[in-house]
Amino acid sequence: MPRAGLSPDAIVDLTLQLIDEGGPAAVTLLAVACRAGVAPPSLYKHVRNLAELNTLVSVRVMDELADRSREAVLGRSGAQALRAFMNAWRHYVVMHPGRYAAMIQTSRPELVEAGGRLVDIVLAVLRSYGLEGVDAIHATRCLRSAVHGFAVLETTGGFGLPVDLDDSYELLTQMIISGLPKSAQDHADV
Amino acid sequence: MPRAGLSPDAIVDLTLQLIDEGGPAAVTLLAVACRAGVAPPSLYKHVRNLAELNTLVSVRVMDELADRSREAVLGRSGAQALRAFMNAWRHYVVMHPGRYAAMIQTSRPELVEAGGRLVDIVLAVLRSYGLEGVDAIHATRCLRSAVHGFAVLETTGGFGLPVDLDDSYELLTQMIISGLPKSAQDHADV
DNA sequence: CTTTCTGGCTATTCGCATTAGCTAACGGAG
DNA sequence: CTCCGTTAGCTAATGCGAATAGCCAGAAAG
């Protein structure tokens, strides 16, 4: 029995491969074990159960998305930053629909933490917009709702009509930006 | 073997009970069969398989939501109608989180049809707003994204912070209304 | 070199969806 | 009213996937 050099991280890597190829439904301990060149029960030495694996995957994806978003926002502020953030988000969703779908789970503590990192980015952007405190929370929720809602609908096939999706997203971006409290629009150069 | 008087509709009814009590995860053919006072295989006489049952449930919920929305919008127009629509939606989600979660599925033909009935309501509201054609499609998508995104985040525990959710939703409503094309704001009495 | 710990394996169990094949109840035609 | 076909239920059995138990070899630590 040669060792396979597994680890929770390595298992998540393999799981992401499966997700990219066959969507979240393709995630099976048997499938993961095959990838790892190992029998299914061996995975339990590294991961408590399937639920935990799903959580780990979700956290990984959130962090990946957070990285892309942070990167996109870097060096920008105000409306520019907001646009960049929203574009980065959708770009990720379109490029990795399976991962995005796998990210969505009912929140466990670890997910809340990873989600917090994502929220912090938005809060930073909104601060550059002049929003802070409770107002910033409300604005963040609106922004997340819009962006996430669009992403979910797009990936689940909720948008059936043959009308350009980029244009729709552009309108959504405009609506969010122009909908932020008037006092915050100083930096806006849409 | 006395007959149980089952039918696809009756099975959906029982499934909805299960969902209300234990969320979508509680839906099991065994559980449904118990409710019906019947052995699991008997269900296959009325429903092709679990996937079909899920689709039927989804359609039922969409129609229910459409009814509530239609009702809420009745006799109103413009911003009034829009507010009423958004409030009805969230009210449904808060009252029936399980059903709403069960409604979300990757789109099959039947779902597209039921979803269309929902979209038509929004389009009608937007028409009273002066929006038609492609513009109305884009606006509908934005509205759905916002509303659905908020609903999903709320029901999956995505909003962790102790800040009032009603206020956030109110802001979202404002943002949507004020974000619609200027030419369409004639009727707006926010 | 020996002891210990770790990661892998096989065998097994359990839950759930699904299929096969049997039988009894209902409902219409003679 | 009776006969017969269709329908709706049943029991039994299969298969897949998650999960547990308990064994064993090879790495690591002394």
In angstroms, the CA A8 to CA A11 distance is 5
Q: CA distances (Å), A82 to each of A169, B115, B164, in order?
A: 13, 30, 24
Taking only the tens place, the pLDDT of each residue in B176-187 is: 999 987 555 554
Check if B51 contacts A (Cβ < 8 Å): no
Check if B171 contacts A (Cβ < 8 Å): yes
Query: B3: phi > 0 → left, psi -120 to 50 → alpha, else beta; which?
Result: beta
What are the phi and psi torsion angles at B95 (to 5°)? -75, -30
Taking only the tens place, the pLDDT of each residue in B135-172 is: 999 999 999 999 999 999 999 999 999 999 999 999 99
Contact A142 B104 (CB under 8 A): no
User: Which residues contact residue B14 at a Cβ distance below 8 angstroms, ignoring those fewer than 6 apart?
Assistant: B32, B35, B36
Q: Give me the pLDDT at residue B4, please.
A: 77
Stated in angstroms, how far is A51 CA from D18 C1'? Answer: 11
Average pLDDT of the residues of chain B:
94
Q: Give me the pLDDT at residue A182, please.
A: 58
Chain A residues 103-162 with a CB less than 8 Å from chain B? 104-107, 112, 115-116, 134, 137-139, 141-142, 144-150, 152-153, 156-161
Q: How many CB atoms lie within 10 A of CB B139?
A: 26
User: DSSP secondary structure string, B88-131?
Assistant: HHHHHHHH-HHHHHHH--PPPHHHHHHHHHHHHHHHHHHHTTT-
Place of tokens 């006072």: B37
B106: nearest CB among A150, A156, A160: A156
Contact A150 B167 (CB under 8 A): no
Taking only the tens place, the pLDDT of each residue in B53-64 is: 999 999 999 999
Taking only the tens place, the pLDDT of each residue in A117-166 is: 999 999 999 999 899 999 999 999 999 999 999 999 999 999 999 999 99
User: Which residues contact residue A140 at a Cβ distance below 8 angstroms, ignoring those fewer than 6 apart?
Assistant: A119, A122, A123, A126
